[in-house]
């Protein structure tokens, strides 16, 4: 992309747009629900046991065009359980800006966020059908450590 992409921590004024993007990534939650969630993360009122960062990608012409939500997990599949790992909880770039390096910039910033907490490993996941996400993870140096099928049964 020709325009400069700035990656920065999300601010309160980003929350409306972020709620829409969260909903696109996690459609089981409504825009309103995601709005409340992201607002509490950004204004620091969310009750958290581990820190969470919401980082956004912004361009001058169109504002916020993507985000990454990163946190710390005490352990993650394939990672050393001796210390917390940075974990990519959510990663999204608006459709018209994909394939121009914005996602890579967001992941680099998420990794930097985790490094600041002393992490030496990063974990992430993608559903098996999400081929694009798997390719993008692989392109950014993430190796597959496990493939999983989840089950449920009503009791």
Ligand X SMILES: CC(C)(COP(=O)(O)OP(=O)(O)OC[C@H]1O[C@@H](n2cnc3c(N)ncnc32)[C@H](O)[C@@H]1OP(=O)(O)O)[C@@H](O)C(=O)NCCC(=O)NCCS
Gyration radius of the chain over CA positions:
16
Q: Which is nearer to ligand X, 83 or 100 (CB)?
A: 100
For residue 22, state whether it binds ligand X (rule: CB under 6 A): no
Contact between residue 57 and residue 67 where contact means Cβ atoms under 8 Å apart: yes
Interaction between residue 133 and ligand X (CB under 6 A)? yes
20 binds ligand X (CB under 6 A): no
Closest CB to ligand X among residues 56, 93: 93
The per-residue DSSP string of 12-63 comes to GGGHHHHHHHHHHHSTTS-HHHHHHHHHHHHHT-S--SS-EEEEEEEETTTE
Tell me the number of residues near ligand X by CB under 6 A. Answer: 18
Cα–Cα dist 93/18, whole Å: 11
Q: Is 103 in the site for ligand X (CB under 6 A)?
A: yes
Beta bridge partners of 86: 72, 122
Binding to ligand X by residue 126, rule CB under 6 A? yes
Which one of the spans 42-50, 69-77, 101-109, 147-155 is the region binding ligand X (CB under 6 A)?
101-109
Q: Which stretch binds ligand X (CB under 6 A): 30-38, 45-53, 108-116, 133-141?
A: 133-141
CA distance 54 to 67: 7
Binding site for ligand X (CB under 6 A): 25, 91-93, 98-104, 126, 130, 132-133, 135-136, 139
């Amino acid at each position: 992309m020709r325009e400069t992409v700035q990656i920065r921590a999300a601010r309160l004024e980003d929350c409306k747009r972020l709620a829409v993007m969260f909903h696109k990534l996690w459609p089981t939650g409504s825009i309103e629900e995601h709005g409340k969630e992201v607002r509490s993360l950004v204004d620091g009122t969310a009750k958290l046991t581990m820190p969470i960062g919401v980082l956004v990608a912004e361009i001058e012409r169109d504002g916020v065009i993507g985000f990454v939500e990163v946190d710390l997990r005490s352990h993650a599949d394939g990672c050393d359980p001796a210390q917390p790992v940075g974990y990519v909880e959510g990663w999204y770039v608006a459709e018209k800006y994909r394939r121009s390096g914005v996602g890579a910039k967001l992941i680099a910033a998420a990794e930097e966020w985790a490094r600041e907490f002393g992490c030496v490993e990063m974990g992430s996941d993608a559903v098996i059908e999400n081929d694009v996400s798997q390719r993008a993870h692989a392109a950014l140096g993430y190796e597959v450590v496990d493939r999983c099928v989840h089950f449920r049964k009503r009791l």
